[in-house]
Structure 1
Amino acid sequence: MAHMVPSLGPASFAPESLEDLIYNALSLLSDDYWVVHSFKMVGVTDEGSLSEREADFVVFNKRLGILVIEAKAGQVQTIDGVWCYGNGTPMKHGGPYRQASDIKWALYDRFEDMGLSHLRGKCKLVHAVWFPSIHSSQLGALDYSSEAARELTLCKNDLGNPGQMIQSIMSFDVSDVRIHLSDREAREILDKIIRPEFKIVPINAVDYGYSNYVFARLLDEQVRVLDFLQEQKSAAINGAAGTGKTLVAIEHAKRISASDRVLFLCFNRLLSENIKQRCSDFANIDVYTIDAFCMRMVGNLDFGELVSKISENTSLFPYRHVVVDEGQDFGQEAIEEADVLGYLSLLVEERGGTIYFFYDRRQLVQGVGLPRVISDSDCRLTLYRNCRNTENIARCSLRSLNDNSGGQVLLSNEPGNPPLLKISSINKELESFVDDELCDLRVKGLTDVVVLTCKTLERSAFAHCFCQRSDSIHWKDTSARIYTCRTFKGLEADAVVLIDVDETLWDEPISSHSPKEGLLFYTGASRAKYELRVAACLTETGCRSILSRFGIATSRRPIKKFAQILSLSLV
C-alpha cells in the first residue's frame, strides 16, 4: 500500500470530481510510492502578488521520480484544439495537460527555492492527466493538442489497478536527467518538496496526532467486512491484535441497533467498560462480560443454569442480535460444557436475527481452545491490516510468537519510533529505566501511558513500585496506571511500558491453561499505539535459551541477537 497524504482519506474535494476514486486507486500502489492529494503551492509573482496553484495528485518514487496528475471527471471534448467540458465550456488554464505541466515546472523551480537545485538532475519530473469517467475505448476519439498525448493519460480502466500505467508514465526518459537518488536525497525531497514538515511549535505530541489521524479511520478492508456482514446471519471474524476487530464489532452493533436490541458480549471487564462508553449513545446496545451477563440472569456463574433459564422462558432474552468480542476466550471449559454460544446462536436464528464472533486465534490467554461454534462456523473471515500499532511495534509483537504468522498481517504505513529494550539482571536498573522512560514519554506530550506486567500484580518483581489510589494502581507517584497483560487485553494505550519480561515467557506451556510461548509478550506489546518500552530481566544465558526456542543457535552477543529478532532497539 502506498504512503498516502492525507492518510485518513482524500482531502476536501468536490464529489463530482471523483478524486476519491483516484485516491483509493493510487493507494493500491506499492509501499515505495508516496502520494499527496490536493498538493498546494503558494508563491509571490514578480509583480508582488500572491499566487496559488494546486495539483490534484503528486506521486513520488525514489527510483522513478515525481509525477504530477491532473484529474478531470465527467465528459470532455476538444473543439478546435481547445479543451472543453461536455457542455462545451472551455477549461481553465489551457486544459488539463497544460495545467499539469505548469505545476510540474513550478515544482522544478521549488527545488531551487528549497536549496535542492543540485538534485534536479537526479530526479525526473513528468506529468499526466486522469479521466476517471472515460473508458479507454473513448480516449481515441479525443483530438489531442500538441501538449497532450495518449501515453500520458489514465482513464476509468486504470482505477482498478493503476500500477502498470503509473510506472509506464514515470519511466519515460527526460533529457539531462538520470535517476540515482540516495536514501538521504530521497528523504530530502520528501521532507522539503513533497510533504514538507513545519517545526514551528516544538511539541512532540504533534507527531502522535498525525499517527492518530492515520489509525482512527475504518480501513476499506473493514468497511467491506461490515458491508458483507449485512448479508450474513452468522460469521466468525479473525484478526491479529490491532487489525480493528473491536472497532468493526462496535460499528456493526451500532448499525443493527437502529431497529433491534443487541447483546454485546466480551470477556474482559476493562474492555466491556470501554465498549459501554463507546456505545453510550445507543440505547439498544447492552454490553456485558460473559460472567456479568450470567450473574445478572441467574445470580451466579453457573452457565448451565443460564442456558436452562433462558430456554425455559425465552422472553428473558430480549435480543435478536448478538455480537461476541474476544471470542477465543469463550473456550473455557464451563462455557463450552453449557454450550452457551451454541444455544445463543440457535436462539437468534429462530428469531431471524444474527450472531457474530470476533476473535484472535493467537490470543488464547483465557481459554484452552477456540469455542466449537467458532471452529465450526460456515462463514469465517480474516482481517489482515493492522490499524492500531506503528509498523515497528506491530512487527515486534508479532515476532515474539515465532510462528511465522506475522507475514500474513499487513503492517501500517506509519513506521513510528523503534521500541526500546533495556536488559539487565538487576531489578534496580530496570526500575530506573522505567522511571526515566515514563518521564521521557511525558515530555514527549503523551498522557495515555500504561505499565503492563507479564506476571500477576502480586508476583511482579516491581510490586513495591505499585501505588494504590482509590480504584486504580499507579507506578509510584506518576499518572501511569498498572495492569496485567491479561486484564488489559483488548484495550490500547498511546504508550506501553512492558515489565517483568523474562525467559519464562517463552517456556513451553505446562498445562492446557498455560499461555503458549511468547503470548503474554505479544498481548502486552500489541497494546501500544505509538511508543513501546520493554524492561527485561535477562542474562546472556537467558537470551541464548530463548533464541534456541526460536531455532537460532548463537554463541556470540546473544543479547543483541535477541533484540534484533524482536525488532527492539537496545539501550
Structure 2
Amino acid sequence: MRIIPSEISNSTRSQAERSVFAALKAIPDDESVALHTVHLPRHHRKRVGEIDFVVITPDILLFIEVKGGRVHQRGGKWYYGPPGREDGPKESPFAQASGGMHEFEREIGALVGNLRDRGVPSGYLVVTTDVDIPRMTEFEPQQYLGATAYDGGRGLAQGIERATRFWLAQNRWARTPVSVSMRKKMLEAIRPDFDRVPNLQSRLTHLDVAFERLTNEQLDRLDDLESNARLIWTGGAGTGKTFLAAEAARRKSAHGTVLFTCASTTLATHMSRILTDDTITVLPFDRLDEVQGRVFDQLIVDEAQDLMTLESLDTLEALVSGGLAEGRWIFMLDQNNQVLTPDTYDPDAWGYVRTLGLEYGPMKRNCRNTVQIVEEVRSYTGANLGVASAGEGEPVRFADVHDTQGEASLLDDYVNELVREGVSPRDITLLSVSGDWATSSARLSQRASKIERFTDVVGTDRTKHRLTWSSVPDFKGHENHVVCLIDLEPEHLEGRLDALYVAWTRARAQLWVALRPGTRPVLADLGVAVLTRKGRLK
C-alpha cells in the first residue's frame, strides 16, 4: 500500500505507530493510500495529530487509532503506559477514534462535498499492538485489532478487511466502489494538510511559524524517495529545490546517516540551522575533508551544477555507502547552468551522473518569484524558471545612475519609499555585483552604518531590523522579499549571464536594479540575443 509520507519521521517515538506504518506499507494493495498524520517535522494542527492513520480504499475511508504499550481501564476511565507512569485518565481509544473520524469528515466534507451525499462510507479501527483488550460494550469486535490478531503487523490487512465489511453494513447508503476521481479528490483535499512544512525562513526566527504548501509536483518527488535509490531533481531558480532537499534530508534521516552538501558556504551555514537532527551532517563542499573516512547512508547535493566536475564526483563517491553507482543519493540541479556558464560545467560529469540516477525535471512551478521577475529574467537570459506561482507583483524597476554617489542617493530614496510602505529593512537585501564593500555604493548610503554583512548574520537569529549587503556568490541559494542590485557595470554582463541570473532570482516580491553608464545598452543587446536564439528575430 502506498503511504504518505513515504518515510516515517524521526520525531515519531511511538514504536506502535512505526509498526503499523511498516505493516501498511507491506500490504500488497496498489489502489489504496494511507496517510500518516504525524508529518515531518511537526504537526500544524492538534486535530490532525489525533488521528494516527487515514486510509483511503476503493471501499471506505478508514481511520486507524494506534495504541502501544500498556492499555487499561478502571472505573470507566482509560489509562495508558506502565504503572507509576500512567497517562490518564483519558477517553477510550474508541471514543478518540470516533471523535476524530467525525471531525475529519466535516473538514473534508467542506472541501469535496458531504461524504454521505456522495456515497462515501467511513469507519474506524483501533489497534493495540502490544496488548489485548477484553471484550466490552465499548466496541464491536470488528472495530478492534488486539496484539494477538495484529500478530506483529501480519494480521493488519485482515483486520482492515474485517472492519471494512462491518462499516459497510452500518453505512447502507454507501455506493461502492468509490470512484477513482472521488478518491483522488479526497486525497488532494487531505494531502496538503499532511504535507505542510515550516518554510526555511520561519525556522530561523522566533516569529509565528509560517507554512509553505508543497506543490503536487514536489509531493510527487518526495514520493519517489522510497522507490528510487538515486534521484536527480532539476529545476530553475525558485522552483523549491533547496526546500525540497531539506525535507528529503529530514525524511531520509529516519533510516540512517545523511550528508547534505553544496558549494556555497553561506547556504551550508543556513541549512545547518535547519537540519539539526543528529543523523544529518551539513557541510559545504570545500570542508568535506572534515568527514574524510566516513561513509554516509544517504547523500544529498544541493546546487549540484556547481559541483558538476569529475574531480568533485570522485570526492562525493567516497562519502556515500556503495559509491555513486550503488549508493543512495539525490542531486538537486539547475539545468539553466548549462546555458549560462558552460565553461564551468563538465558535460562528461553530467553524462555520467545521468546514467546512474532517475532524472526528473525540469520542475515546472516557480514558487519564489513573481510573474514580473520570472518574465524579466527569461527575457534577458533565456533561462527557464518555470511557471510563476507566487502571483503578480510590482514591475522590475530599473534606475539609471551616473556614478556611485548618485546610485547611493537613488538607493536611499527607494529604501525609504519601501519603509514608508511598511516594509522592514531586514526584508531588503543589497546585492553587490562587484562584491567589494570598499567600493560599493552601499558605503555611501545614509544607512551605511546600520547595514549588516550577510556573511556575518547568516545562520544567526537576526533581531535587528537592518538591511543586509551581500556579494552575488554569497547569496546564491538564499532569497529575500526585496533585492536591490547595485554596483553593476557593463563589464559584469560580458560572459557572466550566470551572475545576472542568480542576482535577479533572489527576489521574492520586488527587484530594483541600478544601471551604471553603459549598462542599459548591454542589457538590451542581451534581450535581442535571447530573442534571436528563440527565432523571434532574424
Q: TM-score, normalised by structure 2?
A: 0.55
The verdict on how the C-alpha distance between 1:249 and 1:72 changes in structure 2, with shifts beyond 3 A counting, is same
Number of equivalent positions: 346
CA displacement, residues 62-93 of structure 1 (integer Å, 9 cap, x when unaligned) = xxxxxxx982324658xxxxxxx989xxxxxx
User: In the superposition, relative to structure 1, how do residues 396 and 548 fare at CA in structure 2: closer, same or farther (>3 Å)?
Assistant: closer
| 1:427 Cα deviation from its structure 2 partner | 3.1
Query: Of 286, 289, 302, which residue of structure 2 is paired with 1:291?
Result: 286
CA contact under 8 A between 2:294 and 2:319: conserved in structure 1? no
Q: What residue number does 1:531 align with?
A: 510
Determine if the alignment matches structure 1 residue 522 to structure 2 residue 501: yes
The SS at the match of 1:418 is coil
Q: Give SS of 1:323's match.
A: strand
Partner of 2:520: 543
Deviation at 1:230, TM superposition (A): 1.8
Matches within 5 A, 1:157-196: none
1:276: Cα distance to partner?
A: 0.5
TM-superposition CA deviations, 1:79-134 (whole Å, max 9, x none): xxxxxx989xxxxxxxxxxxxxxxxxxxxxxxxxxxxxxxxxxxxxxxxxxxxx96
TM-score, structure 1 normalization: 0.52
User: Percent identical across equivalent pairs?
Assistant: 22
| Pair 1:498-2:524 in alignment | no
Is 1:495–1:532's contact at 8 Å kept on the other side of the alignment?
yes
Q: CA deviation at 1:353?
A: 4.2
Q: 1:360 to 1:214 in 2, by over 3 A?
A: farther
Structure 1 partner of 2:225 = 229
For 2:215, the equivalent position in structure 1 comes to 219
What does the per-residue CA deviation read over 1:472-519, in whole Å, with 9 as the maximum and x for residues that have no partner? 499xx9821211111110011122111123433432x3xxxxx3xx32
Alignment partner of 1:484 is 2:471 = yes
The answer for unaligned runs of 5 or more in structure 2 is 1-43, 57-106, 123-173, 189-207, 459-463, 532-538
Tell me by how many angstroms 1:395 deviates: 2.4
**Does 2:363 correspond to 1:368?**
no
Contact 2:430 2:468 (C-alpha < 8 Å) held by counterparts: yes
Shift of 1:155: 7.1
One-letter amino acid of the structure 2 residue matched with residue 452 of structure 1:
L
Aligned runs of 1:324-339 on 2, under 5 Å? 324-331=301-308, 335=312, 339=314
Q: What amino acid is the match of 1:489?
A: K
Structure 1, residues 28-73: CA drift from partner, whole Å, max 9, x if none?
xxxxxxxxxxxxxxxxxxxxxxxxxx9988xxxxxxxxxxx98232
Contact 1:472 1:481 (C-alpha < 8 Å) held by counterparts: no
Matching residue of 2:322: 347
Answer yes or no: is 1:420 the counterpart of 2:397. yes
CA distance in 2, matches of 1:214, 1:414: 18
Pick aligned residue for 2:263 from 254, 261, 267: 267
The DSSP-based 3-state class of the residue aligned with 1:452 is: strand
Q: In the alignment, is the contact (CA less than 8 A) between 1:326 and 1:358 conserved in 2?
A: yes
Determine which structure has the larger helix proportion and give its number: 2
CA 1:526–1:134 in structure 2 vs 1: closer, same or farther (change >3 Å)?
A: farther
* Cα pair 1:457 1:463 within 8 Å, conserved: no
Q: 1:275 Cα deviation (Å)? A: 0.4
Question: Does the alignment pair 1:258 with 2:238?
Answer: no
In the aligned structure 1, how far is the partner of 2:184 from the partner of 2:452? Answer: 59
In structure 1, what is the equivalent of residue 423 of structure 2? 445
Compute the displacement of 1:228 (Å). Answer: 1.0
User: Which secondary structure does the structure 1 equivalent of 2:377 belong to?
Assistant: helix
Q: Could you tell me whether the CA contact under 8 Å between 2:393 and 2:509 is conserved in 1?
A: yes
- Separation in 2, partners of 1:134, 1:346: 50
The answer to whether the Cα contact below 8 Å between 1:263 and 1:285 also exists between their aligned partners in 2 is: yes
Selected match of 2:113 from 71, 84, 87: 71
Q: Which residue of 2 aligns with 1:48?
A: none
2: CA distance, partners of 1:393 / 1:549: 16
**Superimposed CA distance per residue, residues 138-160 of structure 1 (whole angstroms, 9 cap, x where no aligned partner):** 9xxxxxxxxxxxxxxx9749959
Query: For the aligned residues, what is the CA RMSD?
Result: 4.4
The residue type equivalent to 1:415 in the other structure is: E
Task: Tell me the SS of whatever aligns to 1:223.
Answer: helix
Partner of 1:181: none
1:11 Cα offset (Å): 12
Cα separation, 2, equivalents of 1:535 and 1:367? 28
- Is residue 301–residue 332 contact of structure 2 (8 Å, CA) maintained in 1? yes
Match of 2:6 in 1: none
Aligned twin of 2:150: none
1:487 alignment partner, SS class: helix
